[in-house]
Amino acid sequence: MAHGLDHVVHAVRDLDAAAHLYRRLGFTVGARNRHPWGTHNVVIQLPGFFVEALTVGEPEKLGDDGFSRLFGRYNQLFLERGEGPSLLIREAQDAAADAADFAAAGIGVGEAMRFERDGKRPDGSTVRVGFSLAFAEDRAAPWIHFAACQQHHPENFWNPDFQHHANSATGIVGVTMVADNPAAHRDFLAAFTGRDVQARDAGLSVDTARGAITVMPPAAFAAEYGVPSPAIDAGPRLAALRFAVTDIAAAEDALAAGEVEAQVDSDRLVIASGTAMGATVVFEEGR
């Protein structure tokens, strides 16, 4: 089955500052949420995909459960090194089956884990939201975690009102990973996505049902986007989040209103990781 990208976790030290950043980038940003294992997040929704800006807001709540270990403590350690995209998650229709498939492929990390809670709609009414995660490990990329996410009540999570953005963003084009040796990640990406991985100039790319995963070395990243690559002395990193926009001028106006500096191309705007809390943010028109 073809799976698309579901969301990416952007680990930050100051969640309020991250919410402010994404608003300055022209996005509609949700309210702060709190997890029982101590992480806090805000969500930026697009149709079928979202960014989860996340911090470890209550580290004293981290325990020995799977969510604390694989999600909370991992992001806590990640943030000790710096901010930026820390997890890449694809969608799942059956997280338990994906966990079994990951195990069979030699990339699995335990069984699928389920979490549910009550949420609030803008009108104050209570709804049930929940998800299951099946984690996967690329041993050649210790500072990137991967998972498949199954939404159990998608009608209560996805909200079209939160998917309208001043920057005209309508979806995810893809996520770019930086690695010294892209070929070392071919087998993992094939097993994780269930798709063919294609060689490209100086790297790899795999098209999912929603967005592409691209892997390239640092020099190719800098040449492609015109901004510095993240440091990868400790291993590969998720680097660029590429968003589709319908109106590049609207995106440029939103950045100007937010006083965000960007590299301007004819159909692309690039915000460097030093501005966007460790993530290179790219707006692309017509891609």
* Residue 240: CATH number of its domain: 3.10.180.10
pLDDT at 1 (0 to 100): 55
> What is the Cα–Cα distance from 205 to 66, expressed in whole angstroms?
31
pLDDT at 265 (0 to 100): 83
Same domain for 228 and 205? yes
> What is the Cα–Cα distance from 228 to 231, expressed in whole angstroms?
9
> Residues 6 or more apart from 186 whose CB is under 8 A from it?
197, 204
pLDDT at 287 (0 to 100): 63
Domain termination residue (choose one: 162, 194, 220): 162
Q: Domain count of the chain?
A: 2
Q: Name the amino acid, one letter, at 90.
A: R
CA 94 to chain centroid: 20
CA dihedral 53, 59, 64, 68 (to 10 degrees): 0
pTM of structure: 0.95
pLDDT at 125 (0 to 100): 77
What string of pLDDT tens digits covers the 287 residues of the chain? 579 999 999 999 999 999 999 999 999 999 999 999 999 999 999 999 999 999 999 999 999 999 999 999 999 999 999 999 999 999 999 999 999 999 999 999 999 999 987 776 667 778 888 999 999 999 999 999 999 999 999 988 999 999 999 999 999 999 999 999 999 999 999 999 999 999 988 899 999 999 999 999 999 999 999 999 999 999 999 999 999 999 999 999 999 999 999 999 878 999 999 999 999 999 999 76
Same domain for 231 and 95? no
Range of the domain at 212: 166-285
Exposure b/e, 216-238, CB count within 10 A at least 16 = b: bbbebbeebbebebbebeeebbb
How big is the chain, counted in residues?
Answer: 287
Same domain for 111 and 246? no
Same domain for 105 and 125? yes
pLDDT at 70 (0 to 100): 92
Same domain for 271 and 172? yes
